[in-house]
Every structure is written in structure tokens, then in C-alpha cells.
Structure 1
Amino acid sequence: MRTETAGTDRVWFITGASRGLGRAFAEAALAAGDRVAVAARTTGPLEELAAAHPGRVLPLPLDVTDRDAVAAAVATAVGRFGRLDVVINNAGTLTMGMVEEFTEAEARAQMEVNFFGALWVTQAVLPVLRGQGAGHLVQVSSIGALSGFPSTGLYSASKCALEGMSEAVAMEAAGFGVKVSILEPGGYWTDLYTAMGATTPLEPYAPLRARLEEQFAEGSVDSDPALAARALLSLVDSAEPPLRLLLGSMVYDLAFDIARRRMDTWAGWESVSRAAEAAVPAPVA
């Protein structure tokens, strides 16, 4: 819940800000009275945002997979605004396909943006936030990080990697006054799905793919990105933000279902798990 007053002239750094959730996050920050460095591969929409908010928006062309470019963009933002208060690692991509179908290039591209891109941004901003003794790093993950699903296995893998890294960063940076949160959104009306890539289908998976397409058509729940932005403001306004925040009723219920099924499985195999551990002296070299 929100515990502090918005509009404190914070400085934001947002990747993937030209459209979708990133654009909604930037607009919400500006509406709160803050300043924003907005980064994306395509800067046309960012220039329009800058024109609408003179002096408060810094558009930055950025490919997050380029580590040197990320460092330069962060330095430019700090040079312009003097500090960073909120960093949103939002840039991401999605390639749909069964795990067996992925080429090496497709698999690596998925990881390059969703994991390594976020890693480069994290590494670039941490010295700034540490030096300030304050700041909030928000990693945009997915409900897919909690469980793999057919046709989104590599996407889930990239988000699982992001979350594992972010949990460690949260503990490493806490002593410097830096907060870390992981957003786990459900579906929003962005162009993630319309701009996504797809593997070359293998025929044996055709029946599964047909069932999935039917499920998506019947059960898809997508929301206005402005609702995610509202939740994000509540998160960054909080004096004690959570490490994880689920966005959406569907993913909230799904997350609890996943956790309960895992706990039931662990409990059912408890005797085997405990029998696999017994202290013994160190082996003799």
C-alpha cells in the first residue's frame, strides 16, 4: 500500500520505455511530478514524450544487450539529472515455441535481452545508488518465472534467471540503503504478443499447440497498462516495499496454486529428501 506522498521530484531511469508497460510507467512518473530518463531502441515516441514535458524527460537510444551502451546511458542520465531514485528494468522480449524447437540463436537472443540486458543495467546503476545511499531498483519479471509453461519455456528461463540474480542483489545492496523489488505481472494490452517471435514448429507438437491456442483464446485476461503503473507507484512510494509484487488477480491466484502444489509435492517426498542428508567426516585426500 502507498505510505508516502508522490510528486517528490524523483528521478527515474526506465528501459523499454517507448511503448507498453514502460511507456505507462513513464507517464505515471511524470504525472506524479517526477523526472524520467526513458531508454529504448526506438526513440521516436520518447521524443514526443519529451516535447510534452519540457525539461523533465531525457530520451536515450539504447540496446540493453550492449553493456558499454548501457553504462553510457546511465552516465548520461546522472549527468543530466544529478541522481537516480527509481530504476525500472522493463526491456524484454518474448519468443514463443517448444523448448526442443529453439535454435541456439533464438535461445541466446531470449536470454540476451531479458537476463543479460537487465544484468547490465543493474551493474551500471548500483554504483550510483550505493554512492547515494538510497534508491529503488525494480525488475520487471513475469508470472512465468514461477513456473514454466508449454511454449514459453525459454521466456520463463530468462525470467527465472532474472529473479535469482535479483534476490541476490537485494541482499547485497540492502546494506547500502538500496531497495530491490521484482514485479510479476500477468497479461496487459501491450505489443509484447504482437511483436513476439516464434520458433519453427515441429509437427509432433501440433496437437499440444492447438490445445494451447484454444486455451489462450478462451482464457486470456489482459488489462490496461495504466493499472500496472498505478501499482508501481504504490510500490515505489512505500517505505518498505516487498521483494516481490504480483500484478493481477489471475496471477495472484495462480501463484498461490503453484506454491501449494510444490509444498504438497515436497511434503509427499519428505522422507526421501531427509534421507539424502547425513553428516559424515570430510573425505581423506
Structure 2
Amino acid sequence: MATARTWFITGASRGLGALWSEAILEHGDQVAATARDAAVFKPLADRYGSRLLPLELDVTDRAAVDAAVHAAERQFGSIDVLVNNAGHMLHGAVEEVSAEQARAQMDVNYFGALWTTQAVLPGMRERRSGRILQVSSIGGLVAYPALGIYQASKWALEAMSQSLAAEVEVYGIHVTLIEPIMFPTGLAAASPQSQPNPAYTHAREALYAGASASGFVPGDPAATSAALLAVADAPNPPLRVLFGAGGLDALRTEFAGRLAGLEEWDHISRLAQGNPAEK
């Protein structure tokens, strides 16, 4: 029988994080589950006993993140898999979003993931093994109107994680960006929105129209648990994996458009080079 792994999961009180925590415990592994209110984990604690460590955590508090990771390491000896799932989705056109909303979005979605990643790395490097699963979004690969600041936080997570993967591969640590497409988890309803400005009604309409035109069909949130475990079990996991169907077509269109635009304006690129010998 395989040795039980220890998982550290942020944002485990609801949505995908809650489903994953239960599935991982059912799988026989151990979970340090974090949320702003650890009382929500009592039903799981009653069922799984000492294999669950409920932790109260605000991921934007770096000292609290370090303390939570150390608590999990004391309880279980090590952290084998980190899942950075905590986050929210700020709706609003770029001009509409307040400074406080923008900072809060980055603090949770990007800096929260950065702090937990930094906290688990020393132990993983010492053991020369570990998995870091960053929950991004298809919005980490494309950008739609009225979600710019949310998507900026995910693009930041994407860049950091891709660099990290190259930095820690030598230590046997694998980094994977999970890109959910569309799942009814209540994330949008539970997330903040900007004060709408009528000047950007068209942007919100374009977002909803684009979602309809994409052909994305809402997936089953419960099914993502098997996918998560499959990624964690893979000997050589991918840097990126889409959760849900239909994303590849959207990405082919996105990346083809980017390349076409760069090629169309390559004469400006060469002009900026300033080298007369350049052809």
C-alpha cells in the first residue's frame, strides 16, 4: 500500500477546495485544510479524525501562512502536496475597480499563493520531492472584458509558477497550473463587484456574450476531484492542465491571434531594433 501523502489546501471551506479535501481524505491521505473560519471543518474532523488538521488562515497574512505551514509540518512531518486554491473573482471594468478592490484581489490570488509556496519550499527542497498545484483559470491564459483585475492576478500567478517550475525541477519538485474553465461552484456570487459605470455596460455585455459564444458547458465540480488526484499521481505532471472541456479551441484562437498580430507589426519590431543590417 502506498504511503499516505500530506496535502496543504488553502480555500478549503467551499467550492472545489471543499470537494477536493473530502476526496483526498477518502483516498486515504492526510489534509491540512485552511479557511478563514476553521469551524466549517468540524464535520470532516468528526469523520476523519487526526488525518485532518483544520487551520484558520488568512492567506494574505504572511506570518500566519508561515505559522500554518509549520503547524502542518509538526502534525504530519512534511507537506507533500500544496494546493493553492484560495481566491475570489473581482468583476468590474478596469476603470471601475477601486484601489482597495484591486489590492485585495492581488493579495489573495497572487500574494497568498506566493506566501504559501515560499513557506513549503524549504521542506520540499530538503526532501527533494513535492508537488505544488496552483489553481489558476482559463482567465490566466486569456483576458476577457470586465474581469481584467481578476485575470491580472492569475496572469501573475502563471508567470511566477512557470519560473518556479524551472527553478525547482532539479530538487524533484513539480509545479502544475490547474486551469478550470467553467464550474458552478458559487465563486462568482460570493465574489466582490465594482460599482458599475454605465460607460462600461458594453464590456459586461461582451463578457456574457463571449461566455455564451465560447460554447463552454458547465462541468461537474465533483468530477474535478478525480482529475486532481490523477495530476498528483502522475510521475511527470504537466506545467499546465485544463480542467473542463472546450478550452483548447478557445486557446488555439487566442494564441493564433497573438502571433498574427505580432507578425503583422513585425516591421515596427525591426524598426525598434535600430540595426541597419537587420533584414
**In 2, distance between residues paired with 1:212 and 1:263?**
23
CA contact (8 A) 1:40 1:63 kept: yes
Aligned to 1:75: 70
Cα deviation for residue 256 of structure 1 reads 2.1
Distance change (3 Å), C-alpha of 1:8 and 1:265: farther
**In 2, distance between residues paired with 1:32 and 1:250?**
29
**In 2, distance between residues paired with 1:139 and 1:211?**
28
Aligned to 1:36: 31
Distance change (3 Å), C-alpha of 1:194 and 1:266: same
| Counterpart selection for 2:204 from 206, 209, 224 | 209
Deviations 1:174-204 (A, max 9, x none): 1111111111111112121110111011121
CA contact (8 A) 2:216 2:246 kept: no
Tell me the C-alpha RMSD between the 2 structures. Answer: 2.0
Residue ranges of structure 2 left out of the alignment (5+ in a row) = none
Aligned to 1:246: 242
The farther-off stretch of 146-155 and 251-260 is: 251-260
Residue ranges of structure 1 left out of the alignment (5+ in a row) = 281-285
TM-score (norm 2): 0.92
| Aligned residue pair count | 275
TM-score (norm 1): 0.90
> What SS does the aligned partner of 1:276 have?
helix
**In 1, distance between residues paired with 2:172 and 2:209?**
47
Aligned to 1:184: 179
Matched, 1:258 2:257: no
Cα deviation for residue 146 of structure 1 reads 1.1
Distance change (3 Å), C-alpha of 1:8 and 1:263: farther
Distance change (3 Å), C-alpha of 1:99 and 1:55: same
Matched, 1:87 2:82: yes
**In 2, distance between residues paired with 1:278 and 1:212?**
40
* Structure 1 residue ranges, 4+ long, deviating more than 4 angstroms after superposition: 213-220
> What SS does the aligned partner of 1:131 have?
helix
> Taking every aligned residue pair, what percent have the same amino acid on both sides?
45
Distance change (3 Å), C-alpha of 1:9 and 1:100: same
Q: Which amino acid aligns with 1:249?
A: A
**In 2, distance between residues paired with 1:46 and 1:161?**
30
Deviations 1:210-252 (A, max 9, x none): 4544555786632221222211111110000011111111223
**In 2, distance between residues paired with 1:216 and 1:276?**
37
**In 2, distance between residues paired with 1:174 and 1:279?**
38
| Counterpart selection for 2:226 from 219, 230, 240 | 230
